[in-house]
Structure 1
């Protein structure tokens, strides 16, 4: 027993010595050490990862929390608001992306996670995805509906042009308008057409043309020459689309070449394939107008000459007619016709009055036959007769019912048990159970019974029983 205690003390001494020689870490210290190792690893401080987004949450603070996963594993990830505000697209659940960031440990949970600093769609350009997402959203809001499209004026007096002052687009627009319709004035608002500042500048120019009461713009051309998707991106910005939609002035979109489409093209009232085509849509061709007016003038002259010739021939027919040669004959004929109509009207009036008088006499006779006074008298007589008959019937019915009631009362009295008791009969009841005694076999000597008479009852006790056989 003593040897066992010595051995135990030796083990305690050895453990305390080991604890003094080696350091014991807390959970927080261990987590901080792991975090330091991860952040010091150069390969994990700037890493590219491909995966699918799941458990996506866009917090009210602006931060994005999600999980990147593939067929074999997953890693928690976060992209702070300061990093995601410049994204050209909106991440969604199930979207495949490529992200760049660094690996670290979230010390509170002791879990490692990926801190994302950049993100782009996997297999699809971010600009193209942003274009598709904005197009879909604005289309759902109704910005592309044809019900909102405004008609272009046929003969604009002043045309507003929003584009770069140095590009080929502005030269094509001005040259085409001057050539086709030099009567129109051109107001150029120079703007940037690419870069970060281009979209706000274009939108501001559109608002300026709409708000100016001095310039009185009839139609507006907004656009630029061709380029890549990045170069045309200013016309895919939401601020430009909403400025075009809010414009009270009809807008012609002229962005890029014939194959280029932007959000501005879908929102604009008219989309032109090129800037030159936009200028052709904005104004008519003066030479064609003059040719058309000359054609109309010639057609008008021919029509007027034909109309005059027709009136002249009609006048000649009138001059040859009997009306112009003997005008009083027509008057005399009309007077004779008036006299004839007067006579006919008088005869018809006399006949109509006669028919109406006869009709009135017939109705008066029928009315006398169906005089309300006579009907009232006959109705009163019939009422008195029916009333007397009803009273007699009621009296007879009451007598019959009274007789029937008397007979039933007599019959009921004859069958009444009380009536039988008056003739000397009694009813015997068992005192305890209050049951009617129908046989001596129900009673034993010493039982108490109640004997009921017509005028009262007796409380009795049985002293003996004598049974008789029938």
Structure 2
């Protein structure tokens, strides 16, 4: 039985293929190209990353095995993350076989930090900044009640920005959003800090009253940019209140801890900062009603007081007072007249006094022959007590 040999491949007498080194390496390369997936995900730990002639070389390992990897300069310029020694990563790669040396490496198409790496960095930065008071509650500033100019730092254009602008227009159209485009993933910390410093220096000229730092959705690994120490310090120096809306509700970044207020989402940041015009209109209507009620109540109280004062003035009128006193005098005169002894005497009674002028109220104690003086209605008379009386 005979078989055809591939070009360049020689067959020995025993039916075993014979290769040169170059032929063998080319055959291995062809086999890998045909038999291995052109793109794959690889979870690994980075060791010894080195930049050589614009290419980033590193070793990827998992504790038991390792393989070399490279991000070519053309690809490296588009990567948003540069791994450090010891970082856990997820690599999107393909196999690269160098036939001349039979060297197998992973060609890096994309690389992202693992969740463990992201959380480890988060804890490291938090432990560094927390003793400095950057997360302290007492440094949190209140949000302005009716902000007129708000800086919005986020990716532009993006669905997150579109949602924020729509929500702002619905809630409080008077607010002006000053949109500043920033990278929201990868190695963009320096660019964000530059924009924050620019805004901070011009906050007064721009009449800036608040700032929103936002990034929609994504995995926790995608939010690693917002865990940077430098970015946290820049954010803490912003002269106006800062609201963050980064990722999802369960995601907390270093920037969230530094901000004056943390919202769960970019749209939530707008809701937290801007008042709701419908609610404000209702509140204004209620305030107007309360004010009108207070004015009506005040007018009623003043009318009642005025009526009372008028009544008091009427009672103090001299003519009325004089007539009242005349009536009282007339009544007292009648009482005096009714109680006058003269009137009693006119009814047939008399007033009896002894020699000393004392009124005699009882027959007891009178002596026969004693002189008594009688006061009658029309005059006086003297009498003597008859013997035997």
Q: Which structure has the bigger radius of gyration?
A: 1
Say whether 1:294 aligns with 2:278: no
Quote the Cα distance in structure 2 between the aligned partners of 1:80 and 1:288.
Answer: 56
The answer for the alignment partner of 1:142 in structure 2 is 133
Partner residue in 2 for 1:217? 208
CA contact (8 A) 2:249 2:264 kept: yes
Is residue 276 from structure 1 mapped to residue 260 from structure 2 by the alignment? Answer: no
**Larger strand fraction of residues:** 2
Aligned counterparts of 2:286 and 2:65: Cα–Cα separation in 1: 68
Report the counterpart of residue 113 of structure 1 in structure 2.
none
Change (3 A) 1:168 1:98: farther
Pair 322,80 (structure 1): closer, same or farther in 2 beyond 3 Å: closer
Other structure's SS at 1:201 match: helix
Q: Is the 8 A contact 2:49 2:85 kept in 1?
A: no
- In the alignment, the residues of structure 2 paired with residue 101 and residue 142 of structure 1 have an alpha-carbon distance, to the nearest angstrom, of 44
Q: Which has more helix, going by share of residues?
A: 1
Tell me, yes or no, if the aligned pair for 1:253 and 1:268 is still in contact at 8 Å.
yes
Specify whether residues 298 and 100 from structure 1 end up closer, same or farther in structure 2 by C-alpha distance, changes over 3 A only.
same
Q: In the superposition, relative to structure 1, how do residues 238 and 81 fare at CA in structure 2: closer, same or farther (>3 Å)?
A: farther
Q: Which has the higher contact order (CA 8 A, sep 6+)?
A: 2
3-state secondary structure, aligned to 1:235: helix
1:228 aligns with 2:219: yes
Structure 1: tracts of 5 or more residues without a match: 1-48, 51-77, 84-96, 103-116, 331-470
**Cα distance in 2 between the residues matched to 1:119 and 1:274:** 32
Cα distance change of structure 1 residues 286 and 98 upon mapping to structure 2, 3 Å threshold: farther
TM normalised by structure 2 equals: 0.53
Q: Say if 2:143 and 2:241, in contact at 8 Å, map to a contact too.
A: yes
- Shift in CA distance, 80/161, structure 1 to aligned 2, threshold 3 Å: closer
Q: TM-score, normalised by structure 1?
A: 0.44
Once residues 328 and 281 of structure 1 are traced to their aligned partners in structure 2, the CA distance between those partners, rounded to angstroms, is 72
Other-structure match for 2:358 = none
What are the superposed Cα offsets for residues 231-257 of structure 1, whole Å, 9 maximum, x if unpaired? 211111112111111111100011011
Spell out the pairing of 1:177-256 with structure 2 (5 A cutoff). 177-196=168-187, 198-212=188-202, 213-256=204-247
Mapped to 2, the partners of 1:324 and 1:258 lie a distance apart of 75
CA displacement at 1:284 relative to structure 2:
0.3
Q: Distance in 2 between the 1:99 and 1:251 partners?
A: 46
- How far residue 322 of structure 1 moved from its aligned partner, in angstroms, is 4.9
CA distance in 2, matches of 1:178, 1:136: 40
CA distance in 2, matches of 1:181, 1:151: 18
- In structure 2, do the counterparts of structure 1 residues 151 and 327 end up closer, same or farther at CA, with 3 Å as the change threshold? farther
The separation in 2 between residues aligned to 1:328 and 1:208, in whole angstroms, is 84
Task: Say which SS state the counterpart of residue 248 (structure 2) adopts.
Answer: coil
5+ residue gaps in structure 2?
1-43, 53-62, 69-83, 90-113, 322-389
Decide whether the 8 Å contact of 1:226 with 1:260 is kept in 2.
Answer: no
Residue equivalent to 1:263: 254
Partner of 1:462: none
Cα RMSD, aligned residues only: 3.4
* Residue of structure 2 in register with 1:304 after alignment: 295
Q: Give the count of matched residue pairs.
A: 228
1:32-111 to structure 2, matched below 5 A, reads none
* CA positional deviation for 1:157: 0.8
Instruction: State the alpha-carbon separation in 1 of the partners of residues 319 and 198 from structure 2.
Output: 77
**Shift in alpha-carbon separation, 1:318–1:82, aligned structure 2, 3 A:** same
1:266-296 deviation line (CA, Å, top 9, x unaligned): 0100000011110011110111111111111
Preserved contact between residue 199 and residue 239 of structure 1 (Cα < 8 Å): yes
* Counterpart secondary structure, 1:160: strand
> Counterparts of 1:242 and 1:327 in 2: how far apart (Å)?
83
Residue 189 of structure 1 aligns to a residue in which SS? strand
